[in-house]
Amino acid sequence: QLFHGVPQSTAAMADAGVVMYLSVNHNIIGTTRMPSTIRSLIEAIGAAHMLRANMWPAYPLALISNRAAHTRLQQRGQLHLWDEHVQLRMPLQLKAQMAAMRERNQTRYNEVISLNMLPFYHSKFAAFLLSPFKRSLFIDNDVFVLQHTFVHNLL
């Protein structure tokens, strides 16, 4: 059976898409940590370009980002790479989880916070929860998809 001339098994699913996440700390612009911010932007742009060039069938791309990342991509004229843009915010489920973790083990919570890893991972989880798709494939910005059907096979 064909779907617009393409075998149905290889037609993109209407409720599915690829989710990417990008957060830029606006406080480090102009500091010695700025190269990591530029590298993050370049990786996200490169990964989105690679997906657009290699993904078949084509699925929509959504970018979940904070305001600073959105602004930097806009300044570089690269927002068009993503079909949908969602502003990063912390869903209530994750806020509750963070509060419960803090209550259960304040010392361990403070250790994790001091390493600045908990906010990073919670932001990634938040991005996944904020996906505009029913079926989502979350791809990190340092992943470059080369196999044409990679996304379709995983969705």
Q: What is the pTM of this model?
A: 0.79
Q: Are 34 and 28 in contact (CB under 8 A)?
A: yes
Angle in degrees, CA 73, 84, 72, rounded to 5: 10
Instruction: From first to last of the 155 residues of the chain, give the pLDDT tens digit.
Output: 444 444 445 577 889 999 999 998 766 555 555 667 888 999 999 999 999 999 999 999 999 999 999 999 999 999 999 999 999 988 888 778 778 877 887 777 777 666 665 677 778 888 988 999 999 999 999 999 999 999 999 99
Q: Are 85 and 62 in contact (CB under 8 A)?
A: yes
Q: Which tokens go with 129?
A: 């929860």
Which residues in 5-132 belong to E strands, given as ranges?
A: 6-7, 16-22, 61-65, 84-87
Q: Are 12 and 58 in contact (CB under 8 A)?
A: yes
